[in-house]
Amino acid sequence: MAAMVDNLIMRRAIGYLIAGLLLIFIGAFMIVSPGKFLAIGTAMFAVYMIFDGGRSLYAFFRYTGISRGVRSAVVSKGIVNLLLGIAVIILTIASPDIVMTVLVYIVAADFLLTGLINLADFLVMRKAGLRLGLLGMESGLEIAIAALMFFFPMMMGSFAFSLAGAAIIAFGAIAVVSCFWSLRVASAMREAERRARSDIGRFDEV
């Protein structure tokens, strides 16, 4: 029984160690080279889109008994995914930095839209006599962040990836510490078992 528990703890410790080192590597890669990390992630997503498009086209030619409307939707999805996947891969290879810029612009547009909506709500509520200062501050902060992202896309993108990378490294470090803690627990259990057997042996001798 003790051997089974010990093996379980060892397997868990190895899992913690592998996951922690992988997270630390990913986090460091995000900090050192955010553009390449994003390009690799985008290329992997593009490969998935191509695979999904090919699967849809295979279903279109394989299952001929389904209705015409469903077949049209399936083939349209397959063609669109194939074309988008190929276009994304070409764009990523031709200009990796533009992927970061486009992503930052998308996030900035979302911040700007949310900020404008919150600002409109704030003005309407203020006109109605309601005091919601936090909503006004939130809308102003969102619009300011959107402006920074529009004017300095690469700097803001690198900063965001650095923060995310640091957080991932922290999680990886916690996993590595958990690995060594598990090994310490396993060592303590083995020592307790050895002492228990020694005490039982002395008791039997008596």
> Would 78 be classed as within a structural domain?
yes
Q: pLDDT value at position 126?
A: 72
Q: pLDDT value at position 52?
A: 81
> Would 205 be classed as within a structural domain?
no
> Would 149 be classed as within a structural domain?
yes
Span 16-64, pLDDT tens digits: 888 889 999 988 988 888 877 877 877 787 888 888 888 877 777 776 6
Where in the sequence is the domain holding 167, given as residue range(s)?
2-200
> Would 89 be classed as within a structural domain?
yes
Task: Give long-range contacts, CB 8 A cutoff, 24+ apart: 79-86.
Answer: 79/53, 80/53, 81/49, 81/50, 81/52, 81/53, 81/56, 82/49, 82/50, 82/53, 82/54, 82/57, 83/53, 84/46, 84/49, 85/46, 85/47, 85/48, 85/49, 85/50, 85/53, 86/46, 86/50
Span 72-84, pLDDT tens digits: 777 777 788 788 8
Please state which of the ranges 1-10, 30-39, 44-53, 144-153 shows the lowest mean pLDDT: 1-10
> Would 44 be classed as within a structural domain?
yes
Number of folded domains in the chain? 1
> Would 206 be classed as within a structural domain?
no
